[in-house]
Amino acid sequence: MNDETTVRVTPSTGLARQPVNAARRTLRDIALDHAGSQGSAPFLIAPDHAQEPGRVLSYDGLLREARALAAELKARGLRAGDKVALLMPNGYQTASLFVGAMIGGFVATPLNLRSSRAGLAYALDHCDCKILFTTPAQSAELGEALPLVARKITIETIEVDAGQLFPDAPGSFEFEPLDENAPALLMYTSGTTGTPKGVLLTHRNLVAAATSVAKWHGLQPNDRVLSSLPLYHINGQVIGTLTPFLSGGSIVAPHAFSVSSWWRDVEAYRCTWINMVPTIIAYLLNAAAGAPPRRFPELRFGRSASAPLPPDQHRAFEESFGVPVIEGMGMTESASLVFCNPMQLARRKYGSVGLPCGVEAFIADPQGRQLPTGKAGEIRFRGPNLMGGYYKSPERSAEALDASGFLRTGDLGFRDEDGFFFITGRLKELIIKGGENIAPREIDEALLLHPAILEAGAVGIPDNDYGQEILAGIVLKPAAQLSEEELRAHCMVHLGRYKTPKFFAFLPELPKGPSGKVQRLAIAQGWTGRA
């Protein structure tokens, strides 16, 4: 199999489980190891259906393209550690450039396709990239942002599903030396206020993160994931791409999530696990409403992260499709996973993000002291996957990391008697009505019990009497109808008078970040009703 074969691929079944090699300290070490032991095995599979290329990138092909990219960039004057930016939707070449740049010793810098003009310009200026790879589809927003960038950047416009971009490197070419502490990935966090923060992650961070996930899920070279999450978000980057890369498995990577092709790809490519966010789960459930349950014998599990998964949707998905879903939580600053539920189904807890995965974690009071079991506070953690700091921002780094090296996450939650962690909200998103703390998630889950509601997001808005009142953004299922009076009556039953939202905003969709996480503050900012 070469790197550009049109195929219907099945997982390799003759590959033994590969233990994590202590000598594999960088992504390049891993690439060289795989090329030597299973070079013809598939790494990336671009599906073969409408508007998809039906192409496979083998481990040999990935290393060859990484060498060709490194040789080309070196000829253009770039050196190890220079930033290589990507403003591209998912596709064959996006994945090849993303992993290949890091193998070559450069710092991959994927930029958010949903950024505002000012946000994109800020990231381009701040990241110090020497070259930007983009596609014709991004020309308009890039053209608006570039005049705001003070420095010169080489722009390379390519097709997202192009084959190998540059000629093979000459036989005499050698990669520059690469250390595990070398930077590998610069990722800008999304948010609704303030300038983005550049999270700088090393090869050590990324290998530690991918190793933790691979061990937790028991991934082997014959495992194959279906992941459509964007490569400009840490979940799609580390869980959906680098974890299969580390374990020697393969990825089915469509351009974007599609309800109509999701299960078809699972069956056609014999996927053994699926990488999702709650939004994907909600849309798959809605599409299956009224249909008999389906079963997928080769699918071992699904995983959900990036935003809380409502327990009722969690159970409904498993009943509808027969696929156990393992919920977890990660952050850009942690190179993905921080908590995850056990793979043993009897030990999972619905509504919990799980147990610490490769990290130390605790619940802190405002002074940073550890709180006892059951008490709510801020979640803090540290581990080998945690960033050393934000790029060119020592002040923000000092604010985020305490004196012991634990990250102040800004997430509110508690730890139960079994050591499981539960998320109740964000510090900045906590609703404080009349002095009472109200977790937005509690309101979301009550709203989602109504059969007409597809998505919901609650947020606090200013109020003269209570300090804050509750606004709920609502997305109805297609063709569903629901009056505000009916909705208020539903909330009174499930939430009581005090926690029933005062205002409802019926929206075509909820504002979300690249991970699918609801941007609650954006709901409040877009509110034009009475307050």
Other CB atoms within 10 A of residue 28 CB? 22
- Give the residue, 195 or 262, on which the prediction is more confident: 262
CA distance 244 to 219: 8
For residue 530, what are the contacts with CB-CB under 8 A and spacing of at least 6? 503
Q: Which amino acid is at 260?
A: S
Identify the band that residue 524 occupies on the pLDDT scale cut at 50, 70 and 90.
confident
Buried residues in 502-520 as b, exposed as e (16+ CB within 10 A): bebbebeebbbbbbbbbbb
Cβ-count burial of 245 within 10 angstroms (0-12 exposed, 13-18 middle, 19+ buried)? buried
Identify the band that residue 270 occupies on the pLDDT scale cut at 50, 70 and 90.
very high
Domain locations in the chain as residue ranges = 431-525
Would you say 133 and 110 are in contact if contact means Cβ atoms under 8 Å apart? Answer: no
Identify the band that residue 17 occupies on the pLDDT scale cut at 50, 70 and 90.
very low
For residue 17, what are the contacts with CB-CB under 8 A and spacing of at least 6? 220, 221
Mean pLDDT of 381-407: 95
Give pLDDT, residue 279: 85
Give pLDDT, residue 342: 97
Give pLDDT, residue 422: 94
pLDDT > 90 in the chain, percent: 76
The sign of the torsion formed by the CA atoms of 170, 174, 176, 180 equals: positive
The DSSP line for 37-55 is HHTTSEEEEE-SSTT---E
For residue 400, what are the contacts with CB-CB under 8 A and spacing of at least 6? 333, 389, 390, 407, 408
Residue 452 has pLDDT above 50, yes or no: yes
Beta pairing partners, 526? none
Q: Which of 453, 426, 428 is nearest to 441 (CA)?
A: 426
DSSP summary character for residue 375: -
Identify the band that residue 116 occupies on the pLDDT scale cut at 50, 70 and 90.
confident
Helix residue spans in 252-324 (DSSP H): 259-268, 278-287, 311-321
Residue 261 has pLDDT above 80, yes or no: yes
Mean pLDDT of 284-301: 93
Residue 530 has pLDDT above 60, yes or no: no
Residue 302 has pLDDT above 70, yes or no: yes
Provide the mean pLDDT of the chain.
90
CA distance 529 to 249: 51
Strand, helix or coil for residue 266: helix
Specify the CATH number of the domain 431-525: 3.30.300.30
Give pLDDT, residue 518: 83
Give pLDDT, residue 7: 38
pLDDT > 70 in the chain, percent: 93
Please write the tens of the pLDDT for every residue from 127-177: 999 999 999 999 999 999 999 999 999 999 999 999 999 999 999 999 999
Other CB atoms within 10 A of residue 258 CB? 16
Give pLDDT, residue 89: 95
Mean pLDDT of 72-90: 97
Q: Which amino acid is at 335?
A: A
Q: What is the dihedral of CA 93, 98, 102, 103, to 10 degrees?
A: -30
The DSSP line for 171-210 is TT--PPP--TTSEEEEEEPP-SSS---EEEEEHHHHHHHH
Distances (CA, A) of 481 to 5, 281, 475, 477: 48, 22, 11, 8
Least confident piece of the model among 355-369, 389-403, 430-444, 478-492 = 430-444
- Give the residue, 521 or 382, on which the prediction is more confident: 382
Identify the band that residue 466 occupies on the pLDDT scale cut at 50, 70 and 90.
confident
Give pLDDT, residue 462: 85
Give pLDDT, residue 170: 94
> Whole-prediction pTM value?
0.83
CA distance 42 to 22: 24
Give pLDDT, residue 194: 61
Give pLDDT, residue 22: 52
